[in-house]
Amino acid sequence: MGSLETPTTENNGSTAPSATSNGGDQKPPVSANGAPPSSTFVMAQESEASKKRKASMLPLEVGTRVMCRWRDGKYHPVKVIERRKMHCGGPNDYEYYVHYTEFNRRLDEWVKLEQLDLDSVETVVDEKVEDKVTSLKMTRHQKRKIDETHVEGHEELDAASLREHEEFTKVKNIATIELGRYEIETWYFSPFPPEYNDCLKLYFCEFCLNFMKRKEQLQRHMRKCDLKHPPGDEIYRSGTLSMFEVDGKKNKVYGQNLCYLAKLFLDHKTLYYDVDLFLFYVLCECDDRGCHMVGYFSKEKHSEESYNLACILTLPPYQRKGYGKFLIAFSYELSKKEGKVGTPERPLSDLGLLSYRGYWTRVLLDILKKHKGNISIKELSDMTAIKAEDILTTLQSLELIQYRKGQHVICADPKVLDRHLKAAGRGGLEVDVSKLIWTPYKEQG
């Protein structure tokens, strides 16, 4: 009894009839002695066909979707964003810059061919990349980002600008940085000056934030650098935590370097080269070696939209320690000192939005739980310096507000409040207002 024939696979992946077919009747092949071929021979044919099929795919085109082995050892779906030829290799030896479609862009990375499962290759070039950004097709993900941007009332990133941003920043230019005692993997593209285009790693002075290409340059710089803390005024110290206010006009180079650094970890941050209009509040952990930056937020000196925060970042080594919540709380304490209500500039990053929602929820629920009797949104705004619109959307998301007889009514059942407070998690580090020594900014002269 003869074995079944395995169909031959052509380069395009379709199956073709065997050369032994005659008038549509296919006969099993036989060996020279008339016996059917062995299973080893059939497997060898399969293996050879598979190799040819895979070879015909290479190099993979930009836009290809395939499964890729990630650092957890498992395979995840990715999309090829860019490719580059390897220095010492054959015509098809490329590295591929991939986006893990299940995860945020911060995890995009260069991978080698052996990390990709070529048997899982889907449609090649499902989204043709043109030379001109305006001809790019938008993915659903991009459209959703645009919709969210418009919902938030932020018009800086319109559809064309967002497409241009996605194209221009699609590949990380700096892979890692050294800052103080940490080596940190970067998340996103940052537009460093052209002379740094060939650097995969940069070395930052953790006090003045000057950056260099080589470790030896940093070591020479550190022997000369007199700074042991950010330039500017220390306006808060509690235990080992300090906050410094840095005027972008007085410390222009520091402000610009801080923006370059921050862009490595913020996706849709607009990089302002004109830092004169901003104040930077840099949070530090202090020890006998100096004050080491853990994060910062910036704000405009004069904002017509009542923005009390433009950008916020906690550096990756210091995340999940409550510093992000501390920075948000600090921005509202400054607003209280100014006698104003405030709101963060839109659009917020994904992590920023989560942090703000958590902060607004905890602050408002704490007040509602302790307050006896009725309280209005205006009163909550006056007590917290949180903008009325942010209070309204937060309470609506928690289903704690109803619209009755032409006005919003807060419905604060104690059990519901407890449940929401538990879900909101811990509040993080608290700002000791008694340790804040600060005068609101006024234009000099």
Residues classed as catalytic: 345
The neighbouring-strand residues paired with 284 are 242, 293
Query: Side chain identity at 74, as an amino acid letter?
Result: K
**Helical packing angle, 388-397 and 350-370, nearest 10°:** 90
User: CA-CA distance, 308 to 414, in Å (whole number)?
Assistant: 31
Distances 364 to 305, 396, 397, 413 between C-alpha atoms, Å = 22, 12, 13, 14
